[in-house]
Amino acid sequence: EGVRAVAAVDLGATSGRVVIGRIGPDALELELVSRFPNGPVEREDGLHWDFGALHESILDGLAEAVRREPAIESIGIDSWAVDYGLLRDGELIGEPFHYRDGRTARGVAEVHEVIPFAELYQRNGLQFLPFNTLYQFAADPGTADADAALLIPDLVAWLLTGRRVAERTNASTTGLLDVRTSEWDLELAERLGIPTGILPELVSPGERIGMLRPEVAARIGRDLPMIAVGSHDTASAVAAAPLASPDAAYISCGTWGLVGLELDAPVLTDAAREANFTNELGVDGRIRFLHNVTGLWLLSETVRAWEAEDGASINLPALLDATGGSTQDVPLFDANDPALSAPGDMPARIASVLAASGHAAPEDRAGFARVILESIASAFADAVQTASDLSGREIDRIHLVGGGSLNRPLCQATADRSGLPVFAGPVEATALGNVLVQARALGAAPVALEELRSLVARSHDLERYLPR
């Protein structure tokens, strides 16, 4: 009774999913409808996303969701950030590039020649990541004659509704959103030679994007509105992280580990810039003050290489169990070493990063996996400490949400290395944040973000890891 339903599409770098979210006064539940693989595909001109396949999987998933739950009232979509498709004359020109494509190095040099990084930081508040959209635009031959650039979730929303918008939390990762006003920084775009006409109208989470195009409604089997959510996956994950107080840090851990705090205002100091901390926009205008740490990418790419070597799949839970519970020292490497960012051949590249600092890589796979997890955990602990130093907040706990919350050795190592209790879960924080923002827009959930979080806390069990 009183339970309402929405559909959420959540695209991650290694898989996408469509879920049904059901929400009532004291209930919040997800039903997985479909899950489909995703990842970089190598084309002649570089690394791309197979966007056509994603689009088909999304439509199939939504049709199945509506078949299973006729009470669905709306659709929301989130994905990884920074990547986009270019439109010309109402058509998508080319497959979207993958942010791990190497072309962005050229864009970085070009942009910083026009505007030094320190000045950029004052304007957009972003940590330096070589794939921030503004660098990609500079390196993309298509930018000059496009009519519109749409970030991945906005591109899907356009295909589904026909409306071109830029959802603000994700737009904040482009480098072209003014960190003080949350409006496009048109002067910055002009100075960089980016045609300002390609930047669509901004919308905020909770705004209605529009109804489905007739042909899409026919295929899905229902006419439904799309509602803007925190379309940056990390914004949705943080919105649903059951943060108990402002002194709780979060780690949203999937391919990346996004480590930081939620703040009311950006921190734009020299120290924050030098520590490479970002001020991304969250749901309800909150600031996601965080640092990108390379997360499970290191493990998933390693496992992918081992599976190719064996010609057989690897049992991940068994591998994680075998990493053992010992607190014995292991050699560490810098999880954010740029040499580890492209796909392919990960074990060999990690071994050579270790060798460069005089360490031998463990021979056995469990030992190798342990070095990876401890290295990630060590970077997590450092980033939590830095977030505390830069914000002046005394951090009393860490909430670890996303796929990484199921990785027990990683959660334990994070507690051990930070000296703080780690509360792990929910694993599907991103989809929950997507569902909650839609439900709120429909009048089916409380207005205050803190109340949404308390609903997550009441409906999900968290696993607690204490530092050893």
Among 185, 233, 301, 416, binds ligand LFR (CB under 6 A): 233
Residues numbered 6-65 forming contacts with ligand LFR, rule: CB under 6 A: 13
Per-residue buried b or exposed e for 225-242, using 16+ beta carbons within 10 Å of the residue's own CB: bbbbbbbbbbbbbbbbbb
Among 231, 255, 294, 438, binds ligand LFR (CB under 6 A): 255
What's the min distance (Å) between Cβ of 159 and ligand LFR? Answer: 20
Choose one: 228-236, 317-325, 347-355, 457-465; the region binding ligand LFR (CB under 6 A).
228-236
Cβ-based nearer residue to ligand LFR, 211 or 275: 275
What's the min distance (Å) between Cβ of 157 and ligand LFR? Answer: 17
Among 51, 80, 158, 368, binds ligand LFR (CB under 6 A): 80
Query: Distance between CA 16 and CA 107 in Å, rounded?
Result: 29
Q: How many CA atoms, within 13 angstroms, populate the side-chain half-sphere of residue 148?
A: 20
Q: What distance lies between CA 200 and its chain's CA centroid?
A: 21
229 is an interface residue for ligand LFR by CB under 6 A: no
Cβ-based nearer residue to ligand LFR, 73 or 83: 83
Its sign, for the CA torsion 289, 391, 418, 465, is negative
Per-residue buried b or exposed e for 186-216, using 16+ beta carbons within 10 Å of the residue's own CB: eebbeebebbeebbbebbbbbeebebbbeeb
292 is an interface residue for ligand LFR by CB under 6 A: yes
Among 240, 258, 376, 398, binds ligand LFR (CB under 6 A): 258
Cβ-based nearer residue to ligand LFR, 72 or 335: 335
Its sign, for the CA torsion 404, 405, 410, 416, is positive
Choose one: 182-190, 251-259, 406-414, 441-449; the region binding ligand LFR (CB under 6 A).
251-259
Among 59, 72, 82, 241, binds ligand LFR (CB under 6 A): 82
Element (H, E) at 209: strand 208-211
In degrees and rounded to multiples of 5, residue 450 shows phi and psi of -60, -35
293 is an interface residue for ligand LFR by CB under 6 A: no
350: DSSP letter:
H
Q: How many residues does the chain have?
A: 468
81 is an interface residue for ligand LFR by CB under 6 A: yes
Listed residue (128, 164, 131, 127) closest to 149, CA to CA: 164
What's the min distance (Å) between Cβ of 2 and ligand LFR? Answer: 33
Cβ-based nearer residue to ligand LFR, 12 or 347: 12
Among 254, 347, 403, 433, binds ligand LFR (CB under 6 A): 254
- Using a 10 angstrom Cβ sphere, with 0-12 exposed, 13-18 middle and 19 or more buried, the burial of residue 130 is middle
The answer to whether the bond into 426 is cis (omega within 30° of 0) is yes
What's the min distance (Å) between Cβ of 15 and ligand LFR? Answer: 12
What's the min distance (Å) between Cβ of 152 and ligand LFR? Answer: 9
- Contact criterion met (CB below 8 Å) for 120 and 175: yes
Neighbours of 442 (CB within 10 A): 18
Could you give the residue numbers annotated as active site?
233
Per-residue contact flags (x/-) with ligand LFR for residues 314 to 333, judged by CB under 6 A: --------------------
Cβ-based nearer residue to ligand LFR, 63 or 179: 179
Q: Are strands 84-88 and 397-401 parallel, antiparallel or unpaired?
A: unpaired
Cβ-based nearer residue to ligand LFR, 125 or 347: 125
List contacts with ligand LFR (CB under 6 A).
Answer: 13, 80-82, 99, 232-234, 254-256, 258, 292
